[in-house]
Structure 1
Amino acid sequence: MVSAILIDDEKVSLQELTYMLVQYKEIQILGTFTDPVEALKEIPKLNPDVIFLDIEMPEVNGFEVAEQIEKLSVEPAIVFVTAYDEYAIRAFEVNAVDYILKPISPKRIRNTLQKLMKKKFHPDSQGKKKYVSRQKSIDFNKVYDNRFSKVFIYQGEEIILLKPSDILYFMVEGGVVTVVTQQKTYKTRESLNYWEEKLQRQGFFRCHRCYLVNLEKIEKVILMFNSTYLLKLASSTAEIPVSRNYSKLLKQILI
């Protein structure tokens, strides 16, 4: 069971979020607040596991609330819920667990709750409840849920934003997925299956168990043996194999 409080200055948004959350027996709502200042007074008493927090509020914004929460005797997880996507990077900097864009979908809420349930809340030496997560940062590719025009590639402490149209292909080698653009290559922590699911509606095709290719970049299709193909891409010397399992589907797509 995960206990939560909700903070949003808009009553309608607060009611919608409350309705979605109460559908899950795994979460207990301890309180809802339209006034963030009042919420700050009640948080130490309620001691929630997680706070669902709006960002754009008239008197005190969500980031200011998060900063004040850090000074309290409790340490809940923070999930930002907002209509504005431009704050996502800053949310990452303050170690928010998740970042949900309005309008909120039931699927998005379910994903967030699954993430919360997989984590653990441990009291420290002073009895302060602390949210412990193996995943230190927000997964921005899930945050935007295909509504954003770029994909996020994690490179150490940096996040590289790439347009899908700039990506030639993805490849797996030695268990590591590499993103290949015309200018540069990047290692990514996500699986090829993950990228296939995310980008298939943006013109990417799984042509081989080790390759995901941008269909717009295909310049030439070379017929090989046993109904297999090689793909030549624009602005690249790479030759991408198409296995028999995918060759028929590729033919249907291209014809």
Structure 2
Amino acid sequence: MTAPRDPVAVLRVLAVDDEAPALDELTYLLDRHPAVGEVIGASDATEALRLLAERPVDAAFLDISMPGLTGMELATVLSRYASPPALVFVTAHDDRAVQAFEVGAVDYLLKPLREQRLAQAVNRIVARRPAASSGSDAAPAASVPDSAPGETPPLHAPAHRTHDDTADLETSVIPVERGGVTSLIQRSSVSWVEAVGDYARLHTESGEYLVRVTLSTLAERWAEAGFARIHRSYLVALPMVTGLRSAGTGTRVLLRAHGRTPEVELPVSRRQVRELKDRLVRDPLRSFRSGRGDGRGGSP
């Protein structure tokens, strides 16, 4: 039985899939969610763009493999709108999550769809909407269970959020997979990152996640958001740094405990020590300067 809709907290959603049965299922499941007020279906990207020209939507649920303009290409177009809709990919392909991350997707759902998992994606969209907006943005969605046993729980407000993360939070996410479910983790929940060959292991407030992105790529993308490469194997979030200490002939950085992540020490390569000290002094994202640290830190 469909839960009663909140007449204020409703979303207008676009669903796009070139396979009629899949589109029917997607629109049916979306329509059952109490936060969804209207579902507009489109069988391809061209039809989707025509519909969007007539009326804007709050969110777009997109298949990836479609004839003509693909779902990923459509998402790129939508992301350039002045007020882009929240993007969710619904696909049978589990190897496109990195691209989803690059276009700022809120979630990445694998077919066959599960209603509970779809509800998580809708809840994330509602949670990210400005509370002060008028009309349908004014109230949260009706209550829906956050997750089923064994599924990745939905994202919550990060424990530490820098001003840079706030500014570009819509794209500051990275896909992770656990138990066959691909979810998007907030960058601001990451304490440090460890290189594992061509992969990277994210150490976050909720656990560890292995992702198909190199440490060099993350270091380049996240440098302006308060992350520093301290070693060929490690990248750290500056707001988590509590200090540096000498260890024999080397230097180690101290990171405070964060969620499930205990306090940790990581080696700093000799050529990175000076740059790290300079960033800790001048970087406004440093924890003790922004009031999030414990007052320790800086030079040993």
TM range (shorter): 0.5 to 0.7
Instruction: Return the offset for 1:63.
Output: 1.6
Contact residue 11 and residue 36 of structure 2 kept, 8 A: yes
Contact residue 42 and residue 48 of structure 2 kept, 8 A: yes
RMSD (Å), alpha carbons:
4.5
Q: Is residue 69 of structure 2 the alignment partner of residue 34 of structure 1? A: no
Question: What CA distance in whole angstroms lies between the structure 1 residues aligned with 2:14 and 2:125?
Answer: 14
Alignment of 1:90-239 (within 5 A): 90-120=99-129, 134=169, 136-138=171-173, 140-141=175-176, 144-147=177-180, 191-192=259-260
Question: What CA distance in whole angstroms lies between the structure 1 residues aligned with 2:193 and 2:53?
Answer: 34
Question: What CA distance in whole angstroms lies between the structure 2 residues aligned with 1:178 and 1:13?
Answer: 34
Q: Give the counterpart of 2:89 among 59, 80, 83.
A: 80
Aligned length: 175
Contact residue 8 and residue 34 of structure 1 kept, 8 A: yes
**Cα 1:101/1:117, change in 2 over 3 Å:** same
- TM-score where L is the length of structure 1: 0.54
Instruction: Return the offset for 1:70.
Output: 3.7
Contact residue 81 and residue 102 of structure 1 kept, 8 A: yes
Q: Where do 5+ consecutive residues of structure 1 fail to align? A: 196-209, 212-255
Q: Where do 5+ consecutive residues of structure 2 fail to align? A: 1-9, 138-166, 209-232, 238-256, 264-300
Letter in 1 for 2:179: N
**Cα 1:148/1:115, change in 2 over 3 Å:** closer
Aligned to 2:71: 62
Instruction: Return the offset for 1:136.
Output: 3.9
Question: What CA distance in whole angstroms lies between the structure 2 residues aligned with 1:177 and 1:70?
Answer: 28
Instruction: Return the offset for 1:160.
Output: 6.0
SS at match of 2:118: helix
**Cα 1:7/1:40, change in 2 over 3 Å:** same
**Cα 1:123/1:87, change in 2 over 3 Å:** farther
Identity, in percent, stands at 26
Question: What CA distance in whole angstroms lies between the structure 2 residues aligned with 1:109 and 1:102?
Answer: 11
Task: Tell me which protein shows more strand as a share of its residues.
Answer: 1
Question: What CA distance in whole angstroms lies between the structure 2 residues aligned with 1:110 and 1:120?
Answer: 16
Per-residue deviation, residues 194-246 of structure 1 (Å, max 9, x unmatched): x9xxxxxxxxxxxxxx69xxxxxxxxxxxxxxxxxxxxxxxxxxxxxxxxxxx
Aligned to 1:217: none
Structure scoring higher RCO (CA < 8 A, sep ≥ 6) equals: 2
